[in-house]
Amino acid sequence: MKLLTLSLLASSCLAVPITEWDQKPIADPESNNPYNPKYRDPYDHKVDSYGKNWQPLPWRNGDGATVLGPQNKDRERQNPDLFRPPSTDHGSMSNLRWSFADSHTRIEEGGWTRQTTVRELGASTEIAGVNMRLDYGVIRELHWHKQAEWAYVLKGNVRITALDTEGGQFIDDLQEGDLWYFPSGHPHSLQGLSPNGTEFLLVFDDGNFNEESTFLLTDWLAHTPKAVLAENFQLSPEVFNTIPKSEKYIFQGTLPGSIDDELPKGKNVKQSKLQFTHKMLDQEPRNTTGGLVRITDSRNFPISKTIAAAHLDIGPGAMREMHWHPNADEWSFFIKGRARVTVFAGEGTARTFDFMAGDVGVIPRNMGHFIENLSDDEPVEVLEIFKADKFEDFSLFQWMGETPRRMVADHIFANDKEGAEKFLKAVENPVEDPIRAAPE
């Protein structure tokens, strides 16, 4: 009986539910960790919970409570401003963030591909992105698209081939930071070079694009009668008995030689007058107080009529200033670092998102926003990409500095003369500074 009583007692102890009071705040209130009920921050400073290995909890200035149910703690550390948003966030806004880590990966011989389109990220209506990897000698087969294709080389080396509408051929070898652009319908191919091959970001000027629906050479030939192939190429039908029975898509090819060795030698072959490639990182950067900016659009890459882009290096603690874009949605791809972005949608609506390497963000045109580097010792590298022929933005700082001082003061500091004087002094020289250094 005694043993039975002890057994029942032990069972009942194990069955006692964990209450809210059993979950202690994870930080001492005097520490810099904001995830406890006694922490106060009326100014909503940034929090790098991932970099500092803090576990977010939904406490903000004494409000909130702990979490009793299931948790995905890694996700919460990656997205602290969703789990404990700034007090300035308000209203309903669609999701504007997606990670390529959540996209389906298609694995092929010597490579893979994954995409972020309107199907993965509903706000991505103007642009679709594809992340692709090709090993040494691996080929993304000869093909073309309905959409234009813009690309940024993330790592390694790649050879591209293309044909223009006048029958001119183009071949070039690219490395990290280089771009290519193929207008709609222009046939092309890609092949990994160097021992480690290549990885790149492809951008298409239609959010409904599907990488699975490209026009592939082998797919077309497999679905054309051999008698027609024979007539077209002036050969006997038997020559085509060994062609692939379906698409090859990504496959291991023979190793390429130099461009000179690979150039077609036919007497009627001619080189294209178009320049399909551009070395973005070789551009002279615009130096700002907080980082570097390089802008590539139709003004310095003339063939790129439908895609404009900016490459940003945002220094530790710095921020891409408050601004908006009037001519297109911003489709951002984060290459390095960690950042927070607050998007202002009007009608009292704002929402904050956190981004890491491999993440995609969409900011609809005309919505105000910034990009703030969460880390005090690591840079953020990000591409801002637009379905547009030119990069355009408006700076809040410049707007305030170039608007009559009386009007600015009446809007923001009508009852605070001292605050008005400090603000107007800060904006009296509105020099363009798209990436602002951290305040001292």
- Cα 220-222-223 angle, rounded to 5 deg: 65
**CB under 8 Å, gap of 24 or more: what pairs does 234-242 form?**
none
Residues recorded for the chain = 440
Using CA atoms, how far residue 40 sits from 20, 31, 43, 62, in Å, is: 21, 11, 9, 7
Known catalytic residue at 384? yes
Q: Could you tell me if residue 242 is left (phi over 0), alpha (psi between -120 and 50 degrees) or otherwise beta?
A: alpha
Q: Record the tokens describing residue 283, joined without a space.
A: 């551009």
The amino acid present at 194, given as its one-letter code, is S
For the chain, how long is the longest CA-to-CA vector? 102
Cβ atoms of 342 and 363 closer than 8 Å: no
The amino acid present at 270, given as its one-letter code, is K
d(Cα 119, Cα 209) in Å, to the nearest integer? 9
For 369, what's the count of Cα atoms within 13 Å in the CB-facing half-sphere?
28
Q: Record the tokens describing residue 175, joined without a space.
A: 């490395």
* Candidate list 199, 211, 372, 384, residue with the active-site label: 384
The DSSP element (H or E) to which 314 belongs, if any, is: strand 308-314
The amino acid present at 418, given as its one-letter code, is E
d(Cα 242, Cα 252) in Å, to the nearest integer? 18
Using CA atoms, how far residue 193 sits from 152, 176, 280, 331, in Å, is: 15, 12, 19, 28
d(Cα 59, Cα 37) in Å, to the nearest integer? 6
Cβ atoms of 340 and 374 closer than 8 Å: yes
Cβ atoms of 281 and 268 closer than 8 Å: no
Give the three-class secondary structure for 21: helix
Cβ atoms of 313 and 296 closer than 8 Å: no
d(Cα 434, Cα 125) in Å, to the nearest integer? 26
Cβ atoms of 336 and 321 closer than 8 Å: no
Nearest to 103 by CA among 114, 117, 91: 114
Residue 191, strand partner residues: 139, 159
Catalytic residues, by residue number, are 384
